[in-house]
Amino acid sequence: MPELSRLLDDYVGAVRTLLTPPGVQNERGGKGPVSAREIESRAEEILRLSDDLTRAERVALADNDPTVRVMASQRLLAKAATELEISAYLNAAGKDEAEGTKFSAQRLDDRSSRTIGQVDEYLNVLAGKPVAKGLQRGAAVPPNLDVARTQLTTVACDACDLIAQRASETGKEAFNGLLGVGLAEIGQAVGTIASAVAGSLGVGEGLSRLYTLCRDFVRKMYDSILALIGDELAKLIGDKVVSWVKEAKDKHLFADWLITAYGVENIKQAVATRIAASSAELSRFSDTNDRLDDLAGHFGRDMELTKKLIKGLGYLKFVPGLGGPEGLLFRGAAYVLVLGWALADGADYLDAGKMDLIDRIPGVAALIGEGIG
């Protein structure tokens, strides 16, 4: 399998080639598609790359370096969101074809510009372009231990609150999306996860090639989310989500429930106690402050991408064949997976005991232990 960096470059290039406006030359020398056949050919190239890239990201998620694992998670989120947007692009092109609408340059240009505007951020994530940081790095070393302990305690507790808040906001959006699907019981969606894993999206007989490709990209999106969650958690997440939703009882109480479920106050107390007992060198306190800022920033980026993916899932009801009962269950399963991801990711960044089901990232408590002993 080609190395990850080359796969990412090829994938990003293939997406940009598909979405280049008709007749316009892109940075790779190709011109934008001007017909249904050219759109199909370029979409098929992305599909060929998609599986290899997902497999490579699975390997990156198991890397020894937690930073590599963080970046792999964010790339899979960006990949899933990109594939939803491509699906919508192909769906619109398929509708034009079905209605006999001519593929005019203006129509294709408008559609390409609109879609590339949506995916540009995701492609930057896949390409590894750095995100601008608003925080000042390398803060001054505190003058004494008392000040160092106070500063680090504040930063650590703020990080805990921020992670819980952002996980709650994102989880609630996924919860609302799941309720909006209209399933009588959330448990109905859980059984669909396994069938979706097996690729059950219906055969789509009689669909045009553009519509078939549109559905293929929905499958790839789903595969990206499954890779993000991991095989073991994917087997458990449905039942976990059902249990969590029952505990939360009401979407309006979701934030309070999650704070309690994570044990945020206990984590903050344990962290404060550990900091108070440390007599590490002052420079180690300032370094740990910076690492906690980075940790909170990484999680914030995770949740930004997850929220955009959740918003994109609303499009699924417009995919040919996903409006009926089977499609309803498939859409419910997608929301279940993303809801489970948001809550499990927050637990991972907090080191939240029994809810830490992923265990990929050294969380707040772990960073403090590494930083100041």
122-168 residue pLDDT tens:
999 999 987 665 545 556 789 999 999 999 999 999 999 999 999 99
Question: So where are the chain's domains?
Answer: 4-372
Residue 80's contacts (CB-CB under 8 Å, 6 or more residues apart) are 221, 222, 224, 225, 228, 309
12-60 residue pLDDT tens:
999 999 998 887 777 766 677 888 899 999 999 999 999 999 999 999 9
Strand partners, 31: 25
Q: The pTM is what? A: 0.92
Task: Report which of 237, 220, 221, 197 is spatially closest to residue 313, judged by C-alpha positions.
Answer: 221
Q: What is the pLDDT of residue 366?
A: 95
Q: What is the pLDDT of residue 197?
A: 44
H-helix segments, the chain: 4-19, 36-61, 66-99, 105-127, 145-181, 187-197, 209-229, 231-248, 254-262, 264-277, 282-313, 325-350, 364-372
Q: Name residues of the chain where pLDDT drops below 70.
A: 1-2, 28-30, 131-139, 183-206, 250-251
Q: What is the SS3 assignment for 245?
A: helix
